[in-house]
Structure 1
Amino acid sequence: MKFFVVDAFTDKAFSGNPAGVVLLENTESLSKEIMQKIAQEVRFSETAFVKQKSENEFLILYFTPVSEIDLCGHATIASFKVLQHLGIAKEEQIYKVHTRVGVIDVSIEKEIILMEQAEPSIGDELETEDILEISQLLGISIEEIGDEKVIIKPRVISTGLWDLIIPVKSKQILFSLSPDYEGISDYCKLHNIVSFHVFTLDEVNAFANCRDFAPLYGIPEEAATGTANGALIYYLSKLGIVEAEKTYEIIQGESMGRPSNIFAKVHLKDNIYKAYVGGSAKIIIEGNLML
């Protein structure tokens, strides 16, 4: 079976967020136990297992090195770069992807692969005590959380996965974070969330800059996080900070030396505003799994 290594949310090799992509032919199958072992062996933050169901429909399963997850943005972008490379997926077409959170749309628009996020949900407002604990887990003061121009508070948001969206007041603060990975892992497990997604609007080269920490799932920090940025853009739209139907660029991964360029927007579909996230991708390895 075919195996690829793809850098997602970038058009340059060794940038963005790498993902493994395993393409299963109709006659090929793997148990979830073997999928988990492959993901553990290759050690990317996520590995996607893709199987075509029909001309315009695909099934994708996602595994981190330690567990299966419901959805992964950058691994979806990577998967469709592979499908485009093989001539299976083409530009200006909408494809249906079956995931554990339901069926989502994915399209290829010029050089950008754009994926629909799941129906959004917003968690309850956090108490001051919670925000203080979050600031301590990030190694900053509670006064450094928020924004200098608009009122934004940390909030748990889902557009497929539950992420804690955390604003900080400057890019300097963002890059000075000293995360307590064990403490963040415990917090995420207790509150049933995937990651701490920390962002700032203090960015001159894009709309926002961000960092994402998901140690509970074996990912201390991730260079690009599609689902979490979908949650971010949806949250900011609810606050009136971003406009619907307008695409915004978000930078992630600079602190890791793997800069990623993520494009996100909120789009009205079937009378529901949903987040859409996309970007480019670069295939760097193509081969076969010898199983």
Structure 2
Amino acid sequence: MIPIYTVDAFTSSPFSGNPAAVCVVQEFPPDDKWLRKVAAEMNLSETAFLCPMDQVGNYRLRWFTPAGEVDLCGHATLASAQVLWESGVAYRIEQLRFHTRSGLLTAKRVDGGIELNFPAEPVSPCEAPPQLAEAIGFEPRAVYKNRMDYLIELPSEQAVREFRPDFRALKELPGRGLIVTSPADDPEVDFVSRCFFPALGIDEDPVTGSAHCALAPYWKEKLGKTQFKARQLSSRTGELKLRLSGERVLIQGQAVIIVKGLLLH
């Protein structure tokens, strides 16, 4: 029997933020079929698979959506750290080291939550692919892209809240998906965003840590700041604290374990 958890990430309140499954295995299977089946069965935006390594506090970490494996995921990494600390597996370890497809990621306990150390994924201006205007219903004034996502800025928080893309057209967009963002109305928040990944089987992701690896450098250029409070405006809503440090983004948030169980097969 294999331990598995459901964790709400980037929130301090149950049933909000972004839910992730966390599955703790002693070794990865020789092929990915079982991992894909578990992720499809959990049917959450991400299922994280954690496997301990020989060195204490080091884990191999992989992330799967219901449609397949992804290169980077913030909320499932936060959820994984919460599971390791709250379950007592890593009780005395102050910093966890995750070995992933995006290199070494770390998590440490800080006042008010957990701080993740992720690579910055800055966007650059690009030509709008022909599918984009069809997907969003207008010609964007400027389009940006990194190795994963497209990003567009909308004129207001209200425009972000009311944004309704054509998911069928958006699914044909090259890459992982689309981030939309704007300045926040709340003076305590720097910017807001929403994230859409229908190609991964996720029409809208509730709270996306990896997207903020692009958003933090983007808003640094706009606002001249290196520290931010961000809010993702999905129906579940999520809050993140961000700090740029060289080519890294430090992402701080909280997480709540909702379900503890065992996989029987």
Q: Does the TM-score normalized on the shorter chain lie above 0.5?
A: yes
Q: Distance in 2 between matches of 1:281 and 1:19?
A: 10
Equivalent residue number for residue 15 of structure 2: 14
- 1:164 partner amino acid: Y
- 1:216 partner amino acid: A
Q: Distance in 1 between matches of 2:136 and 2:241?
A: 26
**1:107-126 matches, cutoff 5 A:** 107-118=108-119, 120-123=121-124, 125-126=125-126
Mapped pair 1:70 → 2:71: yes
Equivalent residue number for residue 145 of structure 2: 156
Equivalent of residue 178 in structure 2, options 172, 180, 196: 196
> For residues 10-46 of structure 1, what are the alpha-carbon distances to aligned partners after superposition, in whole Å with 9 as ceiling and x for unaligned?
0111100000000113xx5434110100000110010
Equivalent residue number for residue 266 of structure 1: 244
Q: Distance in 1 between matches of 2:113 and 2:143?
A: 30
Equivalent residue number for residue 199 of structure 2: 216
Mapped pair 1:286 → 2:264: no
Kept in 2: contact 1:226–1:278 (CA 8 A): no
The Cα of 1:63 is off from its aligned counterpart by 0.4
Instruction: Classify 1:290/1:84 alpha carbon distance in 2 versus 1 (closer, same or farther; 3 Å).
Output: same
Mapped pair 1:184 → 2:170: yes
The Cα of 1:263 is off from its aligned counterpart by 1.7
**1:244-259 matches, cutoff 5 A:** 244=226, 246=227, 248-254=228-234, 256=235, 258-259=236-237
Equivalent residue number for residue 149 of structure 1: none
Greater fraction helix: 1
Kept in 2: contact 1:92–1:109 (CA 8 A): no
**1:21-170 matches, cutoff 5 A:** 21-25=22-26, 28-30=27-29, 31-53=31-53, 54-90=55-91, 93-118=94-119, 120-123=121-124, 125-127=125-127, 130=128, 134-140=132-138, 142=140, 153-158=142-147, 162-170=148-156
Gaps of 5+ in 2: none
What is the TM-score when the length of structure 2 is the normalising length?
0.90
Equivalent residue number for residue 235 of structure 1: 218
Identity %: 28
Equivalent residue number for residue 174 of structure 1: 160
Q: Secondary structure at the match of 1:235?
A: helix
The Cα of 1:87 is off from its aligned counterpart by 2.1
Q: Please provide the CA RMSD for this pair.
A: 2.1
> For residues 118-155 of structure 1, what are the alpha-carbon distances to aligned partners after superposition, in whole Å with 9 as ceiling and x for unaligned?
353544x224xx2886354223464xx5xxxxxxx431
Number of equivalences:
261
> For residues 178-208 of structure 1, what are the alpha-carbon distances to aligned partners after superposition, in whole Å with 9 as ceiling and x for unaligned?
21112111113xxxx2120111103214111
